[in-house]
Amino acid sequence: MKTMNKPTAITRRAALATLATASGSVMATANTEAKPTEHPDTGRLKQSVCRWCFNRMDLDDLAREAAAMGLVGLDLLSENDWPVIRKHGLTCTMANGPGGLSDGWNTPDNHKQLIEGSQALMPKIAEAGFHNMIVFSGNRRGLSDEEGIANCARGLEKILPLAESLDITLHMELLNSKRDHREYQCDHTSWGVALAKQLDTPRFKLLYDIYHMQIMEGDIIATIRENIDYIGHFHTGGVPGRNEIDETQELNYRRISEAVADTGFEGYFAHEFVPRRRDALASLRQAVEICRV
C-alpha cells in the first residue's frame, strides 16, 4: 500500500481520469462473491470515503482498510469498481453519473447525451443494489441563475421517472466557484434548494460538500439545519486546502457531525479530503473517529 505524503497536485478532475484506466485492470480479478463483513461502530452517521482522494492506493487495499475501520462504502465509483468493493461487504455510496463538472445539466445542448447516458447507467446501478448517482449543474457560461435552474429542471425531469422507478436518488453537488471550480453554477445552497423545490421529488437531493460551502457561504450548521430536507449526502474536507479535517483547519467537524446526526439524517457522510500531514490511512482513521458521534 502507498501513502500520500505530497498530494498537493491531486484534484478530483485529474484523479477521475486515471481511475478509469486503473479500475479496468482490477476488474479481471474482481469476480469473487461479496462476503458479509462485520463493521466496527462508527456512531450515528454512516461514514464512507471518496475513492479519488486515495487513488495512490490500490482499490482492493483501500476497500479492505475501509471495511476494517467501519466505513460502509466508497464514494464516487464507476461501474468497473463495484465488484471490487463488494468483495469486502461495502456499498457504492455515490455512483459517478454521466457528464462532468463543467459540462452539466444547465446547458440544453448537453441534455441528449446526459439523458441517454443516465438511461443506460441507472438500471446498472439499481441492479448492483446501489441507490445514489451524482449529477452536476455545469458552468454558467453567461447563464443567469434563473436560466440555469430552468435548464437543469427541464433536463432532469426527463430521467426522474426512471430514477423513481429504480429507487435511485440523483444528487447535485454544491461546489465552490471562488477557488476550485470557477463558473460552476450550483455554488450556493439557495440555488440548489430552488432547483430541488422546482423538481419537487424525493428522488432529487443536494450533495452538500462542507468544504465547498464553507468557502462560498460559511454558516455551515445553521444552513444544514434549515435545509436538511433537501440534502441527501455530505462530503467532508479541511479548509483551507481540502486536507485533513483535524485541528489544522478552521472547521469543527466533531460539532458539525453532531449537528448533522441530530437532524436524524439517514444518508451517507463521505470523507473527501486529500491526506497530507501523515500516513493516508492514519488520517482516514482519525477522520472516522472525529465524526463518530
Q: According to the model, what pLDDT value does residue 34 have?
A: 41
Q: According to the model, what pLDDT value does residue 37 have?
A: 46
Q: According to the model, what pLDDT value does residue 278 have?
A: 84
DSSP state of 59: H
Domain boundaries, the chain: 1-22+36-76+84-91+237-293
CA 179 – CA 61 distance, rounded (Å): 32
Q: According to the model, what pLDDT value does residue 41 have?
A: 87
Residues of the chain with pLDDT under 50: 1-10, 16-37
Question: Mind listing the pLDDT tens digit for each residue in 50-109?
Answer: 999 999 999 999 999 999 999 999 999 999 999 999 999 999 999 999 999 999 999 999
pTM, two decimals, is 0.87
Q: According to the model, what pLDDT value does residue 13 have?
A: 53
Which amino acid does the sequence have at 95? Answer: A
- For residue 236, what are the contacts with CB-CB under 8 A and spacing of at least 6? 210, 211, 245, 253, 269, 270, 271, 272, 273, 287, 291
Q: According to the model, what pLDDT value does residue 38 have?
A: 55
Q: According to the model, what pLDDT value does residue 171 have?
A: 99
- What string of H, E and C letters represents the secondary structure of 125-187? HHHCCCCEEEECCCECCCCCHHHHHHHHHHHHCCCHHHHHHHCCEEEEECCCCCCCCCCECCC
Q: According to the model, what pLDDT value does residue 40 have?
A: 78
